[in-house]
Amino acid sequence: MTEIFVDGDACPVKDEVYAVASRIGLAVIVVANQRINVPHDLGVEMIVVEAGPDAADDWIAEEIKASDVVVTADIPLAARCLEVGALALGTNGREFTTDSIGGALATREIKAHVRETGVMTGGPPPLSPRDRSRFSNMLDQVVRRAMRRSGECEN
């Protein structure tokens, strides 16, 4: 059965994930280095992994299956999930695909190099209500595609 994995550390769209999963009837697994309040009544499971820069990513990459979806802003994690056939959606609502992941990884490396030279780059802008709506719509589409691929009936 399709599950949604959430890279929970600093994920700005957890509530949108819970809403989509609840509407479709899917389990959500939130993985983070520290406990996060999750709505257990909606079938959300909280996995706390040991501290470490990639501990949550490693756990997700080891547990995810081809029928699953991961929500993450971490491009290397998205690449690892795509390798096993899972679908990956960025917290900005952009889907990572096998066609786009190479460019995303290269851009990430360029930005890291720029930061290493001392240039202040700033983080992503805050999400607007429109961004959140776009994310929810894309998650719905990606999850339904994952369910079709795995042969599950949609609600």
Which helix (H) or strand (E) segment holds residue 143: the answer is helix 129-150
Q: Band the pLDDT of 125: cuts 50, 70, 90.
A: confident
pTM of the model: 0.85
Domains contained in the chain, CATH given: 3-150 (3.40.50)
- pLDDT tens, residue by residue, 4-20: 999 998 899 999 999 99
Give the closest residue to 94 by CA, choosing from 13, 20, 151, 3. Answer: 13
- Token digits of residue 89: 């959606």
Give the whole-angstrom CA distance, residue 69 versus residue 88. 6
pLDDT attached to residue 106 = 67
